Structure 1
Amino acid sequence: MTISATLRRALLFLLITPIVTLLACTSSEGTQKKSTQPSTDKGVPRMTTYPIGRFAIDVPAEMKLVHQWQRLRYAEIEEFAWSGSVPRERARDEAWKKRLTEIGKLTPPKGKERVIIETREFPGLGAWARGVFYYGDYMIAKEIHFDVLFDAGMSGVWMKIHGISKEAMEKNLSNISRSYQPRRFGDLKLPPGNWFYTERGAINLPYLEQETAAARFEGHPLEVKLVIKTVETRKIEPEGHGLLGRLGALLATRFAGNVEIEKIRTGKRIVAAMPGEETILRADEDGRKELSFMWRYAGEKDSGEHPKILIEMESADGRIEEKLQIWDAILNSLKPMYGTGR
């Protein structure tokens, strides 16, 4: 495991683990030092805009999107490009049969003879659509999984959900699918609406619940890696339980083991009008140094417009000023995409 991965795991563990006793004596440690002002726009790298969920962020043009994952109203959404080397009808049939084969290898719950409960077609949903109900967990006979594959034109889309009511799941996925619009790369000019952006499309539905979007970027010449995640939150975070408070506890208790941690920049930082917290750290383990950049906004309860947001960047040590410019450019670019579609 890399140093930055060790540090990140420690920080994230502290972010989700109740350590009230530690916080009582260390929660202000991370906020006492004045934060260095973010760099100016001078030297900002060439950037590419990526919409992710209900936000958009600029990423250095050299970086590539490695993976984007999203969940909307309990449904996981997975998109893929159709193969250009085979007819569309064949490509759809192959994707469908491959998924049925994977499902068929699962173990049915006790008392059930087979995993697959039912398959059906959905006329009027895109150019073509099929769905399958099945038992996805052999330990839970009451729980039903429902996967739908539909042809959205420029891409194929899998939507997956699980629950106990076939009717409710079918209604939910049908609503999401019909609200889906395919989107070409770089196209952010959609009509006004309540858009939730996926990797290859967008869904025009307002926030309800269970909404998450995440993306990972790699491939920069400076070997920086970037992750952004937004997720709904069900509770208000207590004072002192944020990134800075937990960092103080981490340093006071040496929770990161033998990794020495140097603060480069820590403090409160407003991004896209959201009052978050920032840490930029150098981790040193036996002379091997890595950089860790984190910005976190705790979010508002049950809000699609103000979800919990975590942005992370990591790299080996060196060329810190260039990396600070990249980091500041990324944070300064974050903007909401809800409401106008632009």
Structure 2
Amino acid sequence: MTTYPIGRFAIDVPAEMKLVHQWQRLRYAEIEEFAWSGSVPRERARDEAWKKRLTEIGKLTPPKGKERVIIETRDFPGVGAWARGILFYGNRMSPKDGNWLILMDVGQTAAWLELKGLVQYEQDMLHDLTEIAKSYQARRFGDLKLPPGNWFYTEHGVINLPYLEQETAAARFEGHPLEVKLAIKTVETHKIEPEGHGLLGRLGALLATRFAGNVEIKKIRTGKRMVAAMPGEETILRADEEGRKELSFMWRYAGEKDSGEHPKILIEMESADGRIEEKLQIWDAVLNSLKPMYGTGR
């Protein structure tokens, strides 16, 4: 098993599986990372990346009454090894909407940080985005030993900021010899879920109303399941649609209201039918590995 930190949690995944995509949002800011190719000097690579995105933005249609879509560009001394940003109109239908976008060079990798909001609050947006950028540091794969802090893990880095609002992390894994696919998502929740509206309640309603149509669903294992001290619900089902059988594994925790330590969590695994015992072992190992990464470094 290989450990992957995702947001404020970490999960172990079979070593044969590869990370296909990881996505995250912190305090409304979208974070997109990439590694420098190494085939060209880094200064040239970041210049080319910046110019390419600048060209793409320049082709956007400005809102009515505005001649240009680009409002401002500027450098950010002291942020990473190098950082440059742009403020532009993000909605051609409204001159009120603006996007701050920063490209940050942090060594072997780079990150785009984007925050959308109202142009009239662009200084507040810039302050929030700069705070995230200054709190970001690159991380080698497998490096999970950090000092105490409020760590939020991205694919190539880590951000030392406590939960505030609008925080999401998601990842998808594929490539296992048994053709299983795995996904995990954590997202903040702003309301307490009513009793019976969880995974098991929805499954019961689905089966009761025959909403599945021509799909025959068989329960393999369902019930409440505690994972990482969080009371969630588990369903493992076999779906048969005209002879095509698939397995579906799900575990869901409803989360606590406005909490970064206890967000809503959904873990899913899917595959074609067959070798169920081996897949159950994989599933159980994945769930049992889930652990928090906030607070004390691990």
TM-score tier (shorter): over 0.9
Deviations 1:70-122 (A, max 9, x none): 00011011110011000011000011011111111211111111111111111
| Corresponding position of 2:258 | 302
| Corresponding position of 1:143 | 97
Distance 2:64 2:213 in 1: 45
Matches within 5 A, 1:81-100: 81-100=35-54
| Corresponding position of 2:26 | 72
Alpha-carbon distance, 1:140 to partner: 2.2
| Corresponding position of 2:212 | 256
| Corresponding position of 2:203 | 247
Which structure carries more strand by proportion? 2
Distance 1:262 1:104 in 2: 54
Equivalences, count: 296
Query: Within the alignment, does 1:265 sit opposite 2:214 as a pair?
Result: no
| Letter in structure 2 aligned against 1:68 | Q
Deviations 1:8-63 (A, max 9, x none): xxxxxxxxxxxxxxxxxxxxxxxxxxxxxxxxxxxxxxx00000000000000000
Distance 1:248 1:110 in 2: 51
| Letter in structure 2 aligned against 1:293 | F
| Letter in structure 2 aligned against 1:63 | M
| Letter in structure 1 aligned against 2:62 | P
Matches within 5 A, 1:99-110: 99-110=53-64
| Corresponding position of 2:16 | 62
Deviations 1:162-190 (A, max 9, x none): 11111011101111111111100000001
| Corresponding position of 1:175 | 131
Deviations 1:114-147 (A, max 9, x none): 1111111111111111000011111222011110
* Alpha-carbon RMSD: 0.7
Distance 1:301 1:135 in 2: 33
| Corresponding position of 2:112 | 158
| Corresponding position of 1:311 | 267
| Letter in structure 1 aligned against 2:122 | K
Residue in structure 1 matching 2:186, options 225, 230, 233: 230
| Letter in structure 2 aligned against 1:299 | G
Matches within 5 A, 1:177-192: 177-192=133-148
Alpha-carbon distance, 1:258 to partner: 1.0
Q: Once the two structures are aligned, what percentage of the paired residues are identical? A: 84
Greater shift, 108-117 or 302-311, is seen at 108-117
Distance 1:139 1:230 in 2: 32
SS of residue matched to 1:207: coil
Alpha-carbon distance, 1:151 to partner: 0.5
Query: Within the alignment, does 1:284 sit opposite 2:231 as a pair?
Result: no
Query: Mind listing any 5+ residue stretches in structure 2 that lack a counterpart?
Result: none
| Corresponding position of 1:117 | 71
Distance 1:269 1:140 in 2: 47
Distance 1:95 1:321 in 2: 47
| Corresponding position of 1:23 | none
Greater shift, 226-235 or 132-141, is seen at 132-141
| Corresponding position of 1:325 | 281
Query: Within the alignment, does 1:207 sit opposite 2:207 as a pair?
Result: no
| Letter in structure 1 aligned against 2:72 | E
SS of residue matched to 1:106: coil
Query: Mind listing any 5+ residue stretches in structure 1 that lack a counterpart?
Result: 1-46
Distance 1:105 1:257 in 2: 46
Deviations 1:231-288 (A, max 9, x none): 0000000000000000001111122221110000000000000000000000000000
| Letter in structure 2 aligned against 1:77 | I
Between 1 and 2, higher relative CO (CA 8 Å, sep ≥ 6) is seen in: 1
SS of residue matched to 1:166: helix
SS of residue matched to 2:57: helix
SS of residue matched to 1:76: strand
Distance 1:127 1:256 in 2: 54
| Corresponding position of 1:293 | 249
| Letter in structure 2 aligned against 1:234 | H
Distance 1:68 1:99 in 2: 21
SS of residue matched to 2:132: helix
Distance 1:104 1:249 in 2: 50
SS of residue matched to 1:290: strand
SS of residue matched to 2:130: helix
